[in-house]
Amino acid sequence: MACSFPYTYVSCPCADTPVPDPARKRRSRESPQKSTPERTNASSGQDTQEVKPPHTQDEQDEEEEEEQTFDPRSPRSNFSLYPPEQLLYCEDCHQIKCPRCITEEIVSWYCPNCLFETPSSMVRGDANRCGRNCFNCPVCTAPLSVSTIENVTGNGNQQGPWVLSCGYCLWTTLDIGIKFDKPTNIRNQLQKMTDSLSGPAFDTRSRQGSRAFGDLKSPLSNLASIEEPAPTQDGAGGLPAQNDQEVTPHLGAEARFATLKSFYRSQISETSTSPSDPMGSDFGFSSPGALNRLMSLYASSSRLSGLYGGNKKQKPKPPVMREAINASEGLRIASEDGDASIIERLASPDCGWDGVASLSQRTEQSPDVRFSHDLMPLPVLLRTKRAKRCKSCKHILVKPETKPQSTRFRIRLIALSYIPLPTLRPLTLPSSSLVPSPAPDLNALAPLRPVHVLLTLKNHMFDPVRITLATPSVTPGRVASKVTVLSPQFDIGPNSDVWDEALQGASAPITTDPRLRAAEKVPEAGKVWDKGRNWTTVVLEVVPGTLPGSEAEGGKEGADEDELAVASQQDEDVLEIPVFVHMEWDAEAQLEQQNVGKEAKPGDLVARELAYWMVLGVGRITASL
Amino acid sequence: MSATSNLRHSQTARPSSPHTPQQPLRSANTSFASASSPGSSFRNEDDAIIFEIGARCLRAGFEGNGTPVCVKRFGPEEMRRAADYRGWIHGDIGAGPLPKPVNAEDWVRDYELWQPDLKNVDLGLVEDKIERVFRETYNQYLLTDAGTSRLVLALPALMPHPLLSSLLSIIFGRWRFPSITLLPSATMSATAAGLRSALVVDLGWAETTVTGIYEYREAVTKRSTRAMRALMLETGRFLTRLASGNDNDEEDDDKEESSDGDISVGFTYCEEVTAMDQTISIPSPKNPEHEYQDLPLSDMAKSVEKVMLAPDVPECDLDDEEKSIPLLVYNSLLCLPPDARGICMARIVFVGGGARIPGLRQRILKEVRLLIARHGWSPIRGKVVERQRQRLEELKITSQTNSHSQSPDNIPAGTMDDEKEKSDPSKEEPEADFVDQKLRRQNKDTPVLIQGILREVESLGPWAGASLVTSLKIRGTVEIEREKFLQYGLAGATRDLEQPVPDRRSGLRAGDRSSWTLAGWA
């Protein structure tokens, strides 16, 4: 499925332990595709699973699931399969850790473009984006560069308006009519411009307006109880009404949000009267319950109510939060003509298909953007360096250096130091004495014709490892290919000193040229193909299955082209072999375990085992024989 | 329902300090919160993270921001394995004709996070997707440590329980969020429009929901399957027909389906202009990379019209779940009590993906206006009723002609109109009642409520609403704490919906959250 065949993926064991849902009994992990009949777990290897007496229904379920063959085709497996080099290993839990079973802590923030580190206090203020001159093209996402419009004669001091231009799609900010006065601090300049585009006049005015409005309003709410006409209020109401007419169309989402927020804030502070208000409790003011009760106690006695509430007429009408009534408070009435202008613009010849921002372009922009003319350059998103911890034991797995320029890690426990690295390559068998046949084209495997692939496992640990491989004899999915591991059980040597091997090699008589030896070799059941210092190669015999609808399948005349195409679309023709790897080794007891187990002495060996599924992508099966 | 019904109460619950900047308010609140309910998450200094999750996309950002930091869509690209970069090699995966017409259901399934019908949904897969999209959102866009701050989810008010349970358990199980607050998206849309009452029309993916909100309470909800999903299918069919051209008529209509190029860009082209004879050119469905094909803009509009408005189908032929949108709006208004109706009809808020289709909102409002003009606010209609009314009118006419002393210009048509207006309380001209007058004098300082006219108010959307509400330090009714959820799951929620409300009224603040409720989601 990845870029090229062959490839290997490792499934993180965390997929077998789903998040426990406390509410209900675990629902079964069955994928919809698992309706296919249960495949026998018959494998060429020894099945290490012992049959336990079933105790309860639950346990039976569990066991069934454990026995279930890993299906690389299930949509869920896409989320648990990782290339081996992306996995980590927790030394405390002795388990493979994928991005799903770690927690992450941010160490530092930096801009991937200028590699400047952003202090954590400024990250939020810059909206998680670079605050300097780094921008991405809104059309094609390539980085933009600052350049002048006028090519001034002297190279020394370039003058004049500056623009951001894209080197890939030749988009410049001139397309949207933006020039900069200075080549530095572009982000700020742009910010000012966008503010002015979305009506800064309105923004300041409205804020002042609403503030003035609030100022007028809050004394009024007291006055209201005296039932006095308030002529000033009309004036205040009139002003925003004017605003309403003028500026509604230009108000951006952020600006409108700000006005709404200030409106709600003023409403809240207005309506929540002083705690001495006897009616407070009626509206559930969240003053502490005790105080509230006390207040209502006092309020009930008419004698004291005068002290606190004062005017009795205030009682029947406590201030209630109202809704926004004009644009200065964030209300926006849809215009009558509606989207006529948009429709006109859509239909106009100079807009066309390319004039409309595509979906991926729009997701990065503010929600109002619709046309490609409205696209703004995007400041580069910051990136983070993150430390990673094991989710279950909090053991730290990865700790990078803080500096953005440094690519080094203080701690990094990658899984490949613990699990053998699987590599796959096709076996080219010399056909008797003729010229060696070319390697089979992995992108076009002929169905029903056996292929031999070599699986090499390379050990990176300093201890020898015993490996047991198991595969389902028939791969899951609609295209059933037969798979046999010729030697399912083998050992891999330790990752010892390279000199050891060299010395060993020297002692051994150099009789046969390894090439020659390989040429003579024939894959044989029960025999390891090749073995080195810390690696072992075994042979897998694969008989690719037939694609549904292909001529090889049955007596059908001519392949069903459509069905074949669908198969290739859904990657059904990709030959993937799930392999269960079980590894055992004797590790030196670690320090903590010495403390726990008292008998353990330094140098004691502890038997370890690790088991996981891995997926080998062999190739694509063609339709024709 | 009452998820934010406490909005008003908790809003008024703030310590009174007019025009104080945010910081002091916050600290004051902290002291209050700690006094009233220990363990309140308000003490958390970190800004809450707000997620809005729908079937098609996810918005995420910080409280107090007007726009989300990122919008992520669900699609086949998001379902790939790690280090599978084919999406980058082949370009847009959606482009180009499919080799074979596929089933319509399959066609859209890859792009959905979930379907309302959970029979065919693999919840484990949904969990996987949610986990990945949350993790990526945090790592790429939010750039904070996941799980340290409060989490606020804006969710549709109707969520299947298994789905809600999966969602919560994956979030709680994966990260160490102290608590999750659920906010209903419809109410949040109303809040983001600055309104207390509104009729929120959510032209969503799987279904269109019309929610009447009165004083932050959901009063009525009606839904219809005429939504963006149906529209996508229709557009896909339309483009298939276009691609197949003249040579073969049309393969079986419903089942056969083909992808239209870029799946959602099609949305923008769906137009609601019936009389538009210009042509636009879109990339040809046959060969999107190279060819363009001209087609009249109105063709696009037709599919929108067919899906959303169902112009040719009589009302009686429509199933309950597939009423056209204007009818849905009208019916929900009809269900509301007259007072609420008057207020809500002047505050119609359109949200959701469909609200972006230019012209659609105006068209819907026009149709609703037409429906109101035709039927008034009486749910009773039919031939018999009509006959009866005519008979009554005749009676009236005869009686009027008998008593000729009355004003002669009062023609029968006028009475009929009067009657109609009478039946519409929101349109009713208030009589000069002395009580009313007094009331009006009292309420002089409160602005006059606009009501009784159809009016559309624009909203910033549920995400912005949730951000607004959260930044004002208003607590939702549904605040799920980590430990309690992990212990009992959804079953731990108290079923008693009414319980929190009286508590709050007496100022006891809902028994300091020793029990939590699912409120409207229960």
The domain that holds B363 is classified in CATH as 3.30.420.40
Q: B-chain residues within 8 Å CB-CB of A569?
A: 98-99
Q: Give the H or E element holding residue A96.
A: strand A95-97
Q: How do residues A59-75 score in pLDDT, each as one tens digit?
A: 444 444 455 778 888 88
DSSP per residue over A508-547, as a string?
Answer: S---S-HHHHHHH----TT--SEE-SSEEEEEEEEE--PP
Between B98 and B243, the higher pLDDT residue = B243
Residue B86, pLDDT above cutoff 80: no
Q: Which residue among A413, A428, A458 closes a domain?
A: A413
Q: How do residues B120-139 score in pLDDT, each as one tens digit?
A: 888 888 888 899 999 999 99
Asked, for residue B385, whether it belongs to a domain, the answer is yes
Q: Are residues A466 and A405 in the same domain?
A: no
Q: How far is CA A281 from the centre of its chain?
A: 48
Nearest-10 crossing angle of helices A186-197, A200-223 = 60
Q: Are residues B483 and B369 in the same domain?
A: no
Q: Are residues B70 and B180 in the same domain?
A: yes
Residue A156, pLDDT above cutoff 60: no
Instruction: For chain A, give the longest Cα–Cα distance.
Output: 118
B51 band by pLDDT with thresholds 50, 70 and 90: very high
Asked, for residue B439, whether it belongs to a domain, the answer is no
pLDDT of A71 reads 83
Q: Does residue A298 belong to the interface with chain B, where contact is any CB pair within 8 Å? A: no
Q: Are residues B128 and B202 in the same domain?
A: no
Q: Say which of A31, A103, A293 has its CB closest to residue B122.
A: A31
Q: Which residue among B246, B277, B309 closes a domain?
A: B309
Q: A-chain residues within 8 Å CB-CB of B123?
A: 27
Q: Say which of A109, A284, A386 has its CB closest to residue B505.
A: A284
Q: B213: helix, coil or strand?
A: strand
CB–CB contacts below 8 A, A to B: 333
Q: Are residues A457 and A405 in the same domain?
A: no
pLDDT of B503 reads 37
Q: Does residue A297 belong to the interface with chain B, where contact is any CB pair within 8 Å? A: no
Cis peptide before A464 (omega within 30 of 0): no
Report the residue of chain B nearest A230, measured CA to CA. B445
Restricting to B residues 11-40, those with a Cβ less than 8 Å away from any Cβ of A are 11-20, 32, 35-36
What value does the CA radius of gyration of chain B take, rounded to a whole number of Å? 26
Bridge partners (DSSP) of residue A412 are: A398
Report the residue of chain A nearest B482, measured CA to CA. A22
The stretch B249-256 carries a mean pLDDT of 32
Q: A interface mutation test: which of B2, B4, B8, B16 has the most A CBs within 10 A?
A: B16
Q: A120: helix, coil or strand?
A: helix
Q: How do residues A178-225 score in pLDDT, each as one tens digit?
A: 888 888 888 888 888 877 655 433 333 333 333 333 333 333 333 333
Q: Does residue B128 belong to the interface with chain A, where contact is any CB pair within 8 Å? A: yes
Q: How do residues A503-547 score in pLDDT, each as one tens digit?
A: 665 554 444 445 555 556 677 777 888 888 888 999 888 888 887
What's the CA gap between A501 and A508, in Å, rounded? 10
pLDDT of A181 reads 84
Asked, for residue A613, whether it belongs to a domain, the answer is yes
Question: Two tokens at B514?
Answer: 């020793």
pLDDT of B510 reads 38
Relative to beta strand A378-379, strand A135-136 is: antiparallel
Q: Are residues B358 and B293 in the same domain?
A: no
The stretch A412-427 carries a mean pLDDT of 88
Q: Are residues A403 and A546 in the same domain?
A: no
Bridge partners (DSSP) of residue B170 are: none
pLDDT of A338 reads 64
Identify the domain containing residue B322 by its residue range. Answer: 195-224+310-396+448-458
Beta carbons of B173 and A20 less than 8 angstroms apart: yes
Asked, for residue B432, whether it belongs to a domain, the answer is no
Q: Give the H or E element holding residue A187.
A: helix A186-197
How close B220 comes to chain A (CA, Å)? 20
Residue A473, pLDDT above cutoff 70: yes
Closest by CA position to B7, among listed B465, B493, B518: B465
Of all residues in chain A, what percent carry a pLDDT higher than 90?
5
Nearest-10 crossing angle of helices B228-244, B297-304 = 140
Q: Does residue A344 belong to the interface with chain B, where contact is any CB pair within 8 Å? A: no
Beta carbons of A479 and A621 less than 8 angstroms apart: yes
Q: A-chain residues within 8 Å CB-CB of B488?
A: 22-23
What's the CA gap between B328 and B209, in Å, rounded? 9
The stretch B59-76 carries a mean pLDDT of 85
How close B390 comes to chain A (CA, Å)? 36
Bridge partners (DSSP) of residue A530 are: A537
pLDDT of B392 reads 86
Restricting to A residues 488-527, those with a Cβ less than 8 Å away from any Cβ of B are none
Per-residue burial over B280-296, b = 16 or more CB atoms within 10 Å of its CB, e = otherwise:
bebbbbbebeeeebebe
Residue A414, pLDDT above cutoff 50: yes
What's the CA gap between A127 and A124, in Å, rounded? 5
Bridge partners (DSSP) of residue A186 are: none
Q: B-chain residues within 8 Å CB-CB of A81?
A: 81-82
Q: B-chain residues within 8 Å CB-CB of A370?
A: 268, 356
The stretch A400-417 carries a mean pLDDT of 89
Q: Are residues A440 and A545 in the same domain?
A: yes
Q: Does residue A386 belong to the interface with chain B, where contact is any CB pair within 8 Å? A: yes
pLDDT of A435 reads 54
What's the CA gap between B137 and B146, in Å, rounded? 10
Q: Are residues B29 and B70 in the same domain?
A: yes
What's the CA gap between B454 and B374, in Å, rounded? 15
Which stretches within A446-569 are classed as H helix?
498-507, 514-520, 561-569
Q: Does residue A226 belong to the interface with chain B, where contact is any CB pair within 8 Å? A: no
Q: Does residue B83 belong to the interface with chain A, where contact is any CB pair within 8 Å? A: yes
Q: Find which of A72-76, A324-328, A475-479, B51-55 is predicted with most confidence, using mean pLDDT.
A: B51-55
| Residue in the structure block whose two tokens are 């690719």 | A544
As a whole number, the mean pLDDT across chain A is: 70
Q: Which residue among B270, B291, B309 closes a domain?
A: B309
Asked, for residue A588, whether it belongs to a domain, the answer is yes
Residue B157, pLDDT above cutoff 70: yes
Amino acid identity of A413? L
Question: Two tokens at B352?
Answer: 């959701």
Question: Two tokens at B442?
Answer: 């009292």
Residue B45, pLDDT above cutoff 60: no
Q: Find which of B402-406, B439-443, B489-493 is predicted with most confidence, using mean pLDDT.
A: B489-493
Q: Does residue B65 belong to the interface with chain A, where contact is any CB pair within 8 Å? A: yes
Q: Considering its fold, how many domains does chain A have in total?
A: 2
Q: Are residues B42 and B163 in the same domain?
A: yes
Q: Does residue B265 belong to the interface with chain A, where contact is any CB pair within 8 Å? A: yes
Between A81 and B244, the higher pLDDT residue = A81
Q: Does residue A559 belong to the interface with chain B, where contact is any CB pair within 8 Å? A: no
Residue B95, pLDDT above cutoff 80: no
Residue A565, pLDDT above cutoff 70: no
Asked, for residue B172, whether it belongs to a domain, the answer is yes
B385 band by pLDDT with thresholds 50, 70 and 90: confident
Q: Are residues A460 and A522 in the same domain?
A: yes
Q: Are residues B215 and B273 in the same domain?
A: no
The stretch B404-421 carries a mean pLDDT of 43
Q: How do residues B231-241 score in pLDDT, each as one tens digit?
A: 877 777 777 77
Residue A369, pLDDT above cutoff 50: yes
Least confident of A279-283, B203-207, B385-389: A279-283
Asked, for residue B109, whether it belongs to a domain, the answer is no
Q: How do residues A292-330 score in pLDDT, each as one tens digit?
A: 556 665 555 544 444 444 444 444 455 667 777 777 777
Q: Are residues B54 and B149 in the same domain?
A: yes
Q: Say which of A31, A99, A260 has its CB closest to residue B135.
A: A99
| Residue in the structure block whose two tokens are 């309302």 | B116
Beta carbons of B461 and B351 less than 8 angstroms apart: yes
pLDDT of A398 reads 92
Restricting to B residues 390-409, those with a Cβ less than 8 Å away from any Cβ of A are none
Q: Are residues A401 and A545 in the same domain?
A: no
ipTM of the complex: 0.75
Amino acid identity of B378? S
Restricting to B residues 170-209, those with a Cβ less than 8 Å away from any Cβ of A are 170, 173-176, 192-197
pLDDT of A189 reads 86
The stretch B444-467 carries a mean pLDDT of 80
pLDDT of B355 reads 79
Q: How do residues B263-303 score in pLDDT, each as one tens digit?
A: 333 333 333 333 333 444 454 444 444 455 566 666 667 77
Residue B299 to residues A188, A292, B255, Cα–Cα distance (Å) = 45, 64, 22
Q: Does residue A566 belong to the interface with chain B, where contact is any CB pair within 8 Å? A: yes
Amino acid identity of B274? T
Indicate yes or no: CB of B467 within 8 angstroms of CB of A343: no
Question: Two tokens at A101?
Answer: 């079973």
Residue A551, pLDDT above cutoff 70: no
Q: Say which of A220, A284, A331 has its CB closest to residue B457.
A: A331
Identify the domain containing residue A103 by its residue range. Answer: 88-119+385-413
Asked, for residue B80, whether it belongs to a domain, the answer is no
